[in-house]
A and B are shown apart, each in its own frame.
Chain A
């Protein structure tokens, strides 16, 4: 007997049993609620853990050839969900016939518009974003240098601008960046270019004929 009085009888055996009951119940429930993951769940968990590495630092690229406006909203959503660092850059390519710091008012004006729209999208989602305009001889090299400086995990690019098709399906600059980048590259090609799936006989795209199979 440890203590007796005030209507209470505390014994060693009682205290040990009380502790045993609490321990068994808690341990049993904890074990029960933490089953081992299945193979599929392990794959999903690995993919989810990759996401943080994938989108830790994001660069969205704009240039006179690259239209990334439609990808900016996606980049903002990714950055907000994963609390990523977000940087939007506009690359103004300076021809070799001009000095590197030559003024190019028309392109710089386009840069202000593109980055201004990007900031508006980010502000609406309460995402902090940095914006930079870069003058360079080569868009590809400027993007790759920036990705290296910023230790970017992901470069997001839109598609080429209409009327500037240069022989590569996604645009030569975009393909070169994708080929040489040391990090992941996400290229968003707008759906309007996917004419193969559209019934050419009708004005509007057919609902879903692409998945029909032949008997």
Chain B
């Protein structure tokens, strides 16, 4: 009697499911980020989005190539592990874990904020307990949804993503058709150009609003024919979001408001001018920019004013769901490579989902929620937060760490992309980033990715900028990494595994198994043929 086969994550994510996992993250970021960028970069908001978009495209292309080549759960963390070794793989994964758990809390919180536009009882400043309990219920509910299985949660995300794609396209099309003035856009760009510092700030906020591509590669191990599907869904996501971001920013700068907007003196102002903090209620407006813009679209705005807040809330909620999905999958991947305890690798025999990972990281998200909500729930904590956290709120603190985690992990991913191009040229790449320099490295023909260097410089500069401009992120980001490294060292020591060095792994065998289990049999054949040819070349070279 043989032992029962080990349960594996089932491949049930379709092309649309793969797209929607990424879209739910990135689409929600734009809902939040547009107002922040308009407030910071003013007449150069479109330029800020363009700059950020270039870095975003580089990140997207890197993830596309790597996820299609190595279609396993874990995403960026796994790529860094293969390219740079165990320690850096752990650091990258630990940073992404921080991001995903914050993602769960942050987006569930803001989803309730959006809902409060139509349900005043949920306004956080007036009813903090109602806001807190609803956010908590959202996190717990999403946890349960993911425990039940990826097909159920993918269907949920797929439906909402489809609704949002249709809605955003309609808003933009109606907006440009009925309310866009090119001369107004040029006038705004000419006379309201920001200072260089503000432009940099706007650019950094814009890049944060593009975070989310990680989700597609996180779902790679559950995607049908990942090497073929993921390049398409990634490129589809990159193009869609880039078009939306550039279109929204240009429309906002050249929009003729349907209902005239005036300042405190009764003077008419342009649409984008309601977002800076100097405008009364500007800070509130920053968090609901898409809803405000949609309401200003002639005729269609009458309908959009009602449903966009709801859609925004739902989209933010599924972005939170992506956090649940991502954190559990990355923990699964890290435990399977001995970077985290094997308990995170356990898959539920019935639902075939990593239940322990899901529950554990939702638990971390709940702790973060408690931290963020404490000052509003109990006024006694306000003084403590003022004293120890520079007067920033709990959500500001989480946002700082969110930016830090994303920039850190993406920097490592670019390094991993370059390292894997050099060290693993034999793995078939169904998608390859353009602009490569052919060269020979350790006897093999390789292609050095120029975009990898450009992308690394771009994202690393943003990491430096984040550390420079976010005092809490500068302290707590590295502290989180330090805590993780201490835990990692103690775990590896206890297990008798190398601490500073990497565990020996048969990557060739692993790659064959990855492609076989992905159903990419043609790529597996190509890889085996590449290996054979390489071995024969080496044998011939060693023969005197």
Q: State the A residues within 8 Å of B (CB).
A: 6-11, 13-15, 17-19, 21-22, 24-25, 28-29, 31-33, 35-36, 38-40
Contact = CB atoms under 8 A, between A and B. Distances in A.
B233 interface: yes
Given A17-B247, A32-B236, A40 B15 contact: no
A15 B175 CA distance: 10
Interface in B87-138: none
Nearest to B254: A14
B485 interface: no
Contacts of B174: 18
Given A18-B173, A39-B522, A13 B182 contact: yes
B385 to A, nearest CB: 43
A29 B240 contact: yes
A180 B189 CA distance: 83
Interface stretch (B224-232, B387-395, B457-465, B471-479): B224-232
A76 B100 CA distance: 54
Nearest to B174: A18
B510 interface: no
Contacts of B522: 38-39
Interface of B: 15-16, 19, 165, 169, 172-182, 225, 228-229, 232-233, 235-236, 239-240, 243, 247, 250, 256, 258, 298-299, 519-522
**Majority-rule SS of B interface residues:** helix
Nearest to B169: A25
A15 B177 contact: yes
A32 B519 CA distance: 19
A85 to B, nearest CB: 36
Nearest to B247: A21
Nearest to A9: B256
Contacts of A31: 232, 236
Contacts of B228: 35-36, 38
A32 B173 contact: no
Nearest to A27: B239
B33 to A, nearest CB: 19
Contacts of B240: 25, 28-29
B31 to A, nearest CB: 17
A38 B235 contact: no
B519 to A, nearest CB: 7
A22 B173 contact: yes
A11 B225 contact: no
A25 B243 contact: yes
Given A8-B298, A35-B225, A38-B521, 9 more contacts: A7-B258, A9-B180, A13-B182, A14-B182, A17-B247, A18-B175, A25-B240, A32-B19, A38-B228
30 contacts: A7-B258, A8-B179, A9-B179, A9-B180, A9-B181, A11-B180, A13-B180, A13-B182, A14-B182, A17-B247, A17-B250, A18-B173, A18-B174, A18-B175, A18-B176, A19-B173, A21-B173, A21-B247, A22-B173, A24-B239, A25-B240, A25-B243, A29-B240, A32-B15, A32-B232, A33-B15, A35-B228, A35-B232, A38-B228, A38-B522
Nearest to B229: A35
Contacts of B520: 38
Contacts of B250: 17
A98 B299 CA distance: 90
A13 B176 CA distance: 8
A40 B521 contact: yes
B243 A10 contact: no
B2 to A, nearest CB: 11
